Amino acid sequence: MYNNRNSNEISLPKKKLCHFCQNRIEKIDFKDAYFIRRFMNSQGKIYPPKRHGICAKHQRLLANAIKKARIMALVPFVAR
């Protein structure tokens, strides 16, 4: 990933800020299936924290919310 001005300068990508920390979201509601699906791929797997730039605290809360939503059948365990 080189900068256009000089081939010797390397530009690093900007670190993504946590969506939940920015918006001061303390609790993740497992009943909000549309919001939870943003953090899952088409197969139903949870994206890693680097993908969306979520901090470790909110990644754990998100994983627990997804697991509760799966048990309540709001989100599928796997896609067909």
Residue span of the structural domain in which 62 resides: 30-80
The number of folded domains in the chain is 1
pLDDT band at 36 (very low <50, low <70, confident <90, very high): very high
Q: How far apart are CA 1 and CA 6, in angstroms?
A: 12
- Give 63-80 pLDDT, tens digit per residue: 999 999 999 999 988 877
CATH (domain of 79) = 4.10.640.10
- Give 7-35 pLDDT, tens digit per residue: 677 777 777 788 899 999 889 999 999 99
Asked if pLDDT for residue 2 goes beyond 60, the answer is: no
Joined tokens for residue 55: 């901090």
The reply to whether 50 falls in a domain is yes
Instruction: Return the bridge partners of 2, or none.
Output: 10
